[in-house]
Structure 1
Amino acid sequence: MNSDKYYKLSNQPLIFVLAEFRFTEIMSMANYVSKIQETLRHSYPFLEEQHTQEVNITNEGLEINQSPQWALIGKNKLDAIVLDSKRLVFVTSDYQRFEDFQAKCEEVLKVLIEFAKPTLLTRVGLRYADLIISKSDNMDVCEYVQSSIFGNSFLNEIGNVAIQTNETTVETNEGVMTARSMHGKSNLSTWPDIVNLPIKLASQNEVSERIILDFDHVWQSNTENPISKTIEEALDFDINLVLEKLAKMHKLNRQAFWDSTTKQAKEIWK
């Protein structure tokens, strides 16, 4: 598909973009955090140590384990890196073009490789989240997206639909993409599972009619490839391979957003 079709949207409805890179566990990750932070501190001067909870089911019942993670946050608090023993996440609310985003991912991944030396790549995820609120008194928010996203509800005869959600999972050449949408009056700016991101978001907290779009694309080892029907093996944690996967996933995420929104909307966002 011709990339010229995808022109820059200066007023895009994007809330954040997140890339996740998982690897086989590095139990000594805490030993490398200071070196990673020292190398990146001019771009990411704020360091927060956090703890996550992991729930495991054992023969004795539920087992809850806490593990440390570290957030390295940019000076404008629009970019951040989240790191733990099994993954690195880069998230931004200051997304301009994919090439810039990919370059930032490359920078932090090179530092991770230099000090922690992850062995195998087990997962790559790329997620785009959009908040659509009408910018024109003459255009309903539903006119910003294709009508196929929200079908007529059979409950309309009972009452007015307050919130309508839709979730579709598709197999792609690069893995699995889950496309989610939510329409209605609310004060939500992102899909409800997003909590405590360490960056500033351009949230709209007053209740209004809005549409949330969320495209979450994942490649993961130990799953069946949707095309070849073979089991995906964990791969060597090679920077070029990782960035190539990210770029291929981005093309499909971009197409999903472009095809789900209308020409009129893109003219307003242009």
Structure 2
Amino acid sequence: MHLPEFERVIYERNPLIQVACQLRFPPILKISHKEPVEFQDEIRFQYPLFESMQPQVTPEISQVIQQFGLPLSSDLFYTFKSEDQRWQLSVTKDFITLTTSVYESYEQFQKRFREAVNVFERIYKPSFYTRVGLQYQDLIIRSKLGLEDKNWSDLITPHIASELYNQELAPFIQSIIKNLILKIEHGQINLKHGLVTVKEPEKNNDEVAYLLDADFFTEQKVERDGNVWNILSQFNKSARQLFRWSITDTLHNAMRPQAVNITEP
């Protein structure tokens, strides 16, 4: 899939609700059997809050798993959070993930993740990476953008949701849920998007919003070197192009785009 080029911008009214980057690797059993003391000691000034947990399984699912003779997962999940809890670093025996709800730029995000990965690689020495992924979740809420009087067909392009342009169908659509796997030059995109209902605490009511959840990934073997960051930079560029390709000029302008002077990563 070829995505068109667009000028890079940062939105003053940023619709991003979460950004996550994950590197998966062959299991490192030491992580499951010993608390990451050394790792925490090197990152705790940025991520002072720590907790460990095991995946929660409901009794019903546990019973089914046992009936089929399958093992119950007991892998520990280590989480390190910033003081304001808006940045979260997660580690298990087979992945490391950085998640944030206050994304400002890819350069800032990559710097924080790269610092953590450098520490992780020095301590645990993963053999190579089996999956490299970068995920962006955007939530378009019309009331926050002064667009309450606009139809979704004024905001979302027809090649993403053609149903919104059908005059006989569009007025009656309550929800849209789509899941596409798209091939791009450096990997694939798992694109989930559609109309969702969100609660607006300030107004004490529900509002229909549009979710664009794009997970860019490759499951090709990636050596533990700088190529990881080259791949992620390409994913970041593709993410910007995909988002802009999915929205109209009306929505783009309502989010108040600002020119970016940062050199491409």
Q: Distance in 1 between matches of 2:30 and 2:210?
A: 43
Contact 1:23 1:123 in 2 (8 A): yes
1:246 Cα deviation from its structure 2 partner: 0.8
Structure 2 spans left out of the alignment, 5+ residues: 257-265
Count of aligned pairs: 244
Larger displacement relative to structure 2 (1-10 or 247-256): 1-10
1:49 maps to 2:61: no
- The match for 2:81 is 73
Contact 1:44 1:73 in 2 (8 A): yes
How far off is 1:188 after superposition?
6.8
- What letter matches 1:209 in structure 2? V
Deviations 1:158-211 (A, max 9, x none): x93221112221111111102121215x2279xxxxxxxxxxxx9998410211
RMSD: 3.1
Higher relative contact order (CA 8 A, sep 6+): 2
The residue number in structure 1 matching 2:241 is 255
Q: Structure 1: which amino acid aligns with 2:136? A: Y
| Structure 1 residues 188 and 181, CA gap change in structure 2 (3 angstroms) | farther
Verify the 8 A CA contact 1:187 1:204 in the aligned structure 2: no
The answer to whether the 8 Å contact 2:4/2:241 transfers is no
2:223 alignment counterpart: 236
Deviation at 1:31, TM superposition (A): 3.4
* Partner Cα separation in structure 1 for residue 28 and residue 203 of structure 2: 39
In 2: Cα distance, 1:218 partner to 1:74 partner: 26
**Does residue 95 of the first structure (1) align with residue 81 of the second (2)?**
no
Over the matched positions of the two proteins, sequence identity in percent amounts to 21
- Aligned pairs for 1:106-117 (under 5 A) are 106-117=114-125
Cα distance 1:94–1:86, how it changes in 2: closer, same or farther (>3 A)? same
**Residue 148 of structure 1 aligns to a residue in which SS?**
coil
What is the aligned partner in structure 2 of residue 215 from structure 1?
214
Residues of 1 paired with 2:45 and 2:187: CA distance?
35
8 A contact 1:53–1:64 mirrored in 2:
no
* One-letter identity of the residue aligned with 2:14: Q
Question: Aligned equivalents of 1:86 and 1:167: distance in 2?
Answer: 26
- Following superposition, the deviation at residue 149 of structure 1 comes to 2.2
TM-score normalized with structure 1 length:
0.80
Task: Output the CA distance in 1 between the equivalents of 2:208 and 2:34.
Answer: 48
Q: Distance in 2 between matches of 1:48 and 1:212?
A: 30
Structure 1: segments with no counterpart, 5+ residues: 190-201, 222-233
Q: How does 1:117-156 map to 2 (within 5 A)?
A: 117-134=125-142, 135-136=145-146, 137-152=148-163
**Structure 1 residue 100, shift from structure 2 partner:** 0.8
By percentage of residues, which structure has more strand? Answer: 1
Give the partner amino acid of 2:209: R
Rate the CA distance shift 1:2–1:217 in 2: closer, same or farther, 3 A: closer
Structure 2 residue aligned with 1:39, among 39, 42, 48? 42
Residues 1:163 and 2:175 are matched in the alignment: yes
* Cα distance in 2 between the residues matched to 1:265 and 1:141: 10
